Amino acid sequence: MSRFSAITDNPHQRGFSQKTGILITNLGSPDAPTTSAVRRYLREFLSDPRVVEIPRLLWLIILHGIILRIRPAKSAKNYQKIWTEQGAPLITITQAQQQKLQQHLIRLGHQDVIVEMAMRYGNPSIESGLTKLREQGVTKIVVLPLYPQYSGATTGSTFDAVSRVLRSWRWVPELHFINGYHQQPDYIEALANSIAEDLTANGTPDKLVFSYHGTPKQFLNWGDPYYCFCMQTTRLVSERLQLPEGLAVSTFQSRFGKAEWLQPYTDVTLTEFAKQGIDNVAILSPAFSADCLETLEELEEENRETFMHAGGKHYRYIKALNDREDHIAALAKLVIPYLSNKA
């Protein structure tokens, strides 16, 4: 075999039509709902300097000396509550999104498009997703992190991971990175549709709570736009549905540690509502494109218990957009401008 024969394996030598790869990404889940698997996952997640921005040496001592000794067992029990026969809900839902987005684009005439999925932490990894696309001969890659509202801790971290992988490639393909879509009309429409369907089926609650994943308040002080983008999403959906003034409120969940996080806090707000006699709430989390631990366990179970214990009577969770057809159509609208052949 000639020492140059391997060159013919490269897309630029094959001479076939240009292909575009789309990589949809999300945060990730442990490989199993066990203490050891959760520990591996949390080690990777909490070691990301985008996620925890305190002096590195101090944080590593806290992480390995305290958190990874205590938190995995508790988190594993929570994962066990939501785990299905197919595995982690976030993974299986993202797989469904991948398949439906592929089919949707083909129906629109985009035959030379390949959709893969990856997780920022855990499996399948960003590296494996990009490698799959390269092996299928793509000459252009569109990365779509499924975080509607940009944050450095999520979208920014995904960019870091993609960059690290591509630094090792001899031939870097044309790259497009979509860094958010909190105002995209089709995303707002899909959110509005999901809420309208719930209101039609279950009636209008006293409060409609838009619960976003929290971040440390210091991130906002340093210039992270996430808080503002969350507020804009709530406003746009409220305007689209013509909700009565005061019905919709924005809160932030999943805080961790002793530092101040974005407020108002979801659990504190629910408790205050119940004590004020506001005993009928519906809650959704627009920052999550797929249901996961933070929605299925924290919102649907833990915060329900918080609200009911404080005196609330009616509590319901409106599911994430998941693989709804209008959600898939919204994702397609985001990537179509970057495809080789526009429909």
Q: Which residues fall in the annotated binding site? A: 213, 294
Quote the CA–CA distance of 290 and 283 in Å, as a whole number.
Answer: 15
Residue reference for tokens 């985001």: 334
Q: How many CA atoms lie within 13 A of 174 on its CB side?
A: 12
- Give the residue from 159, 161, 84 showing the smallest Cα distance to 122: 161
CB-based contact 9:104 (threshold 8 Å): no
CB-based contact 69:61 (threshold 8 Å): no
Q: Identify the H or E element spanning 145.
A: strand 140-145
Residue reference for tokens 């031939």: 171
Annotated binding site for Fe(2+): 213, 294
Cis peptide before 124 (omega within 30 of 0): yes
- Strand 280-284 relative to strand 207-213: parallel, antiparallel, unpaired? parallel
- Residue 318's SS3 state is coil
CB-based contact 226:183 (threshold 8 Å): no
Quote the CA–CA distance of 253 and 215 in Å, as a whole number.
Answer: 9
